[in-house]
Amino acid sequence: MLAWLVGCLIAGIVMYGVVPTIVIRKRRILLFREGTAPDCLALTFDDGPDPYYTPKLLDLLKKYGVKATFFVVGRKVERYPDIVRRMVEEGHEVGIHNYRHISNWLLPPFWLDWGVYRAAAAIERAAGQRPVYYRPPWGHFNVWTPIVQRRYTTVLWTHILGDWNENIGTMELFRRLRAAVRGGAVIVLHDNGDALGANKRAPEQMLSALELLFKDEAAKKMRWVTITELRNAQTNKQISSM
């Protein structure tokens, strides 16, 4: 009996979450995941804000004049609204990463709607701006997610580099970052180490690897932009080629 129940649960998760994720990603349904401008790329950060690492990250981005897009967890926004306000004041963008860091495979439609709505409201209270971008945790979708996607632009990535694992080391992460530098890229990093499977101190080496990248000559030749700027650069390129 127990085995039958477990089998039904797994089958339900597969049909409700895994299959839609495969289909949405493969067909790129309502997704933005990369640009086309040869001189622009976007850094994005998930899972924050963190009271220790995110201010250090903002200091680093300000030092090198880099703009980024943050996909934040609504519950943390409520705890640290001043950090989110600082993001916007310094020219960064803020998008939704749900209210809690839970896979959409495990969220029924009502809880998904409620979580996204509550996260959006928290961001608006903190930053004075309604978010327009959404990135589900782990990039997981479900059969209800396309309804949510119609209200926002869903952003995935071209490169996700495993920076949540501190065992890869600063230099290996730097090498992965440098290899990801190309026009149109959307790079995912994490300014919080509390998510399932992450190491709490991993953001420390992410910051070190990122500073090495900003000093790299190839990286200096690129424009580090927000998702909106990357999308606009793509549109402008398409218009200029017509």
pLDDT tens sequence across 21-52: 999 998 888 899 999 999 999 999 999 999 99
For residue 2, pLDDT beyond 70:
no
- pTM higher than the cut 0.85: yes
Catalytic annotation present for 163? no
| pLDDT at site 7 | 52
Cα distances from 44 to residues 80, 129, 198, 237, in angstroms, run: 19, 18, 17, 22
Read off the pLDDT band of 242 (50, 70, 90). very low
* First vs last C-alpha separation in the chain: 63
For residue 127, pLDDT beyond 60:
yes
Q: How many residues does the chain have?
A: 242
Check 46, 50, 163, 191 and give the catalytic one: 46
Tokens of residue 31, six digits: 């997704």
Catalytic annotation present for 190? yes
66 vs 189: CA distance, rounded Å: 14
**Which value, to the nearest 10 degrees, does the dihedral of the CA atoms of residues 208, 210, 214, 215 take?**
30
Q: Give per-residue pLDDT as tens, 162-218.
A: 999 999 999 999 999 999 999 999 999 999 998 888 899 999 999 999 999 999 998
Cα distances from 220 to residues 41, 57, 64, 86, in angstroms, run: 12, 18, 10, 25
| pLDDT at site 16 | 87
If 0-12 CB within 10 Å is exposed, 13-18 middle and 19+ buried, where does residue 162 land? middle
Check 97, 101, 140, 190 and give the catalytic one: 190
